[in-house]
Amino acid sequence: MHFPAAFISTAHNTSDMNTPSDVSVIAPGNWLGMLGGGQLGRMFCHAAQSMGYKVAVLDPAAECPAGVVADLHIQAAYDDAQALDRLAGLCAAVTTEFENVPAQSLERLAQSVRVSPDSRSVAIAQDRIAEKSFLARAGVPVAPHAAIVQPGELEQAGNELFPGILKSARLGYDGKGQVRVASRAEAIEAWEAMGRVPCVLEALVPLASEISVVVARNAQGQSVAYAPSLNEHRDGILAVSTVEPQAPKSAQAFHQAAARIAQDVAHALDYVGVLCVEFFVLNDGRLVANEMAPRPHNSGHYTIDACISSQFEQQARVMAGQPLGDPSCLCASVMLNVLGDVWFDAQGELREPDWTRVLGVPGAKLHLYGKAEARRGRKMGHVTVLGATLGAAREGAREAAAALRIPFDV
């Protein structure tokens, strides 16, 4: 079962989607570079290598998930000029797996090699103040908010922003750098505790659900959007993502709108690469953009097993100047994030999860990230359960969650 073509592959120009122009094609056998050695880099390596490319990863850790599977691991800091020049000299194109890579590093690489996404796009996504301003200028609905940079700005913030969430402008992810505040006094106290770093104060909105859309866009301005995933978070970390190839009529309108907005965001950025846009669905059915990630996204991991071309394959295709892949979703899926918590029993003692029981679940696909040490809250892997129907995928996910002692009530 597929989404209608207009839903999944809207181009912002009229050129043939299958004949990239103006960008030289990098043939398989050449080197592609990755800044960052985490699990997103690891999955990129798998996808690029399956297409015949060699991958060099730059990461400071001696043993990192991507480094151990890459064809070359350059162990160095992200701002190490010599290492960056070595990466640029070897690779025909370079990308990144996380948004907090130094923008100056991307700029240095771009002087001699193709870089996607570019430093401007990454810099906007690195800073919540810049991100909110960009989205607002692009005409994308966002929650009521105010930038908090100088003392006194919280005192001047509108009453409609309370209760709200105070979010650090930089380096916040998976719920980090965020504090719920019920009043102005709590916001002032929280900002002081955060060291008066630049923040965004965002009003809490009447939330019905959270969805996200992954988009791939090439240098010719052509883009495709994947089916939106319905996301459940726990403690600020994505826990479950659910995707249904044929959404109920009640959801189709805002799913189509979300896909269109995500592609419009990529177009407004002149973005080249894979981009995820997260949305709040309000109680009245309106969509509000929450944030964007200039890279493949946790909520898009279902694309590895449930789609014709995964988000990581798209990442490789775009940076190599190859045609965009088909994002069609072939079946329903439920993805469970596997955190380090499942390695600990009720007494807090380490134990190996029951992978055999998980793999015995019909339709279950296990992905472990190769991290040596399990820690609570650390992303260690994910399980995607496929099903001919959403009910079948949910039932399988319920079994897998029980085997891993993960709460599951979707």
The reply to whether 203 sits in an annotated binding site is yes
Query: Is 167 labelled a binding residue?
Result: yes
| 406 phi, psi to nearest 5 deg | -100, 130
Pick from 277, 134, 283: nearest CA to 204: 283
Residue 381 assigned to a binding site:
no
Tokens of 193: 């505790």
Neighbours of 22 (CB within 10 A): 8
Question: Is 175 within any annotated ligand binding site?
Answer: yes
Residue 233 marked in a binding site: yes
Contact criterion met (CB below 8 Å) for 40 and 97? yes
Per the annotation, does 131 bind a ligand? Answer: no
Query: Is 264 labelled as part of a ligand binding site?
Result: no
Structure tokens at 64: 């990192």
Please report where in the chains the tokens 């994910």 appear, as a residue. Answer: 382
Q: Is 174 annotated as a binding residue?
A: yes
Extract the runs of DSSP E, i.e. beta strands, from 185-236. Answer: 199-203, 207-217, 223-225, 229-234
CA angle 51, 53, 55 (to 5 degrees): 130
CA distances, 79 to each of 41, 82, 102, 106, 122 (Å): 18, 9, 7, 9, 15
Q: Is 178 annotated as a binding residue?
A: yes
- Cα angle, residue 173 at apex, residues 128 and 372 outer, rounded to 5°: 150
Residue 59, beta-bridge partner list: 75
The answer to whether the annotation marks 128 as part of a ligand binding site is: yes
Determine whether the annotation assigns residue 153 to a binding site.
no
Q: Which of 302, 146, 290 is nearest to 228 (CA)?
A: 302
Residue 360 assigned to a binding site: no
Angle at 388 between CA 383 and CA 389, to 5 degrees: 90
CA distance 189 to 75: 41
155 belongs to an annotated ligand binding site = no
Sign, CA dihedral 13-14-17-23, equals negative
Q: Report the chain's terminal Cα–Cα distance, integer Å.
A: 22
Say if residue 379 carries a ligand binding annotation: no
Question: Which one-letter DSSP state was computed for residue 51?
Answer: T
Q: Which amino acid is at 305?
A: D
> Is 322 assigned a ligand-binding role in the annotation?
no
* C-alpha atoms less than 13 angstroms from C-alpha of 173 in its C-beta half-sphere: 14
Please give the Cα distance from 271 to 258 (Å, whole number): 17
Binding-site annotation, residues for ATP? 128, 167, 172-178, 202-205, 210, 233, 290-291
Binding-site annotation, residues? 128, 167, 172-178, 202-205, 210, 233, 290-291
